[in-house]
Structure 1
Amino acid sequence: MNIGLFGYGKMGKMIEQIAQQRGHSIVAKVDVGTKEADYSKMDVAIDFSTPDAAYQNIITCFENKVPVISGTTGWLERYAEAVKHCQEKKGAFIYASNFSLGVNLFFELNEQLASMMSKLEQYSVSMEEIHHTQKLDAPSGTAITLAEGIIEHSSYKTWKSETADEKSIPITSKREGAVAGTHIVSYESEVDKIEIKHVAHNRKGFALGAVIAAEWIQGKTGVFSMKDVLNLS
């Protein structure tokens, strides 16, 4: 499989390493300052660029009939436009706030727990996410996905940073050292506390999941998620 990398920072380099270990080739590295790329050589594009570059990267790939795996967060106000463009061009697209296989299982666990806890009004939910100091967005895309999963299965209506009322989920964001990513969902009452937690030890899990998604999407048309890749739908 020939992969075009969009964004060649730490994640891009990790994806390159894992892709090559799995027998794939990197045929383009598109980063800040790259003027052109040969889309005809790409079987798939993996985008871990920046919020201001991601949308145009994705659209250009669809224009050139290249399937896209996108893990860039912070651009999702244009996600619906990207989906529409993909469908118009009969392209293939997977966006995930987090491609880690463990995190995607954690997403499923979070939704199941939210459904069970929705019947118990004495518990209030809160979230905390911790990342390295270079992370640009807060809350993390993963935290937002977790919050959306809770909202879908409960009476909560929205999420807010730090503080919230009874109908919104408070998300606390911390930026510390070189933390790869920690997410904690807590349900607390006067008598006890229930927590689920995911801790990423490094970026390898994110990169591996993105490469597996790129392998899975070959030959497919449509807009998918990691639930499809992991057969969790």
Structure 2
Amino acid sequence: MIRFICVAIFLVVFLILSIPVFFVEWLIGKKNRETRDFSSLRIVQWGFRCILRIAGVETTVIGLENVPDEPVLFIGNHRSYFDILLTYSRCKRLTGYVAKKEMEKIPLLSTWMKYLYCLFLDRHDPKQGMKTILTAIDYIKRGISICIFPEGTRNSGEELSLLPFKEGSFKIAEKTGCAIVPISLNNTAEMFEAHFPKIKKTHVVIEYGAPVYPKDLDKETRKHLAPYFEQIIKETIQKNVEIV
């Protein structure tokens, strides 16, 4: 419980101290948008790393060198709020995450998310969902990577289970031709969700798979990218359970 309290205090203090930082970042952005973008990225990554240290997480990272130096579509399994901290703190390029619409209502946090090209997806409005995908496509074309969890929500089932991947998540890569990089995460729910509200010192495994360009796949596979990548991540988390 002490870790939970410490993380909560750090997050609140970070967000409050962010208020004058937003103004400084806004001024930087008026002169040089790219400088502001990377400045915001590094500030948030620093905050995430601090939270992970407070939480006592031990991380084994495999295949980070697989991520090409170009805008890509990251897709991964999703079992914990900490999945975002664990992966975003390792992004070398600007990367926008696709989050649920409700996140847009959180003061200050949503401001950081907008600074960092995060998108808010309304899962109950297909029309708005399509607009979000189109914006993500535009971001990729502008050189910004996108990360999305194709299960559509956090999976609270068995550790090695996956919810069915949604095909719409892969439209971003289909329309831009960018590489898809699968991220497989093991044991992240043990940090928090498995024993809410306690945060437990945990060993997690993150594996970045080889980038896959849709154009290099056969025609039939291109029609069904969701089950193809679902199988890749399923096999990877089953393999990595031995490391945990």
Q: TM-score, normalised by structure 2?
A: 0.29
Higher relative contact order (CA 8 A, sep 6+): 2
The structure with more helix, counted as a fraction of residues: 2
The structure with more strand, counted as a fraction of residues: 1
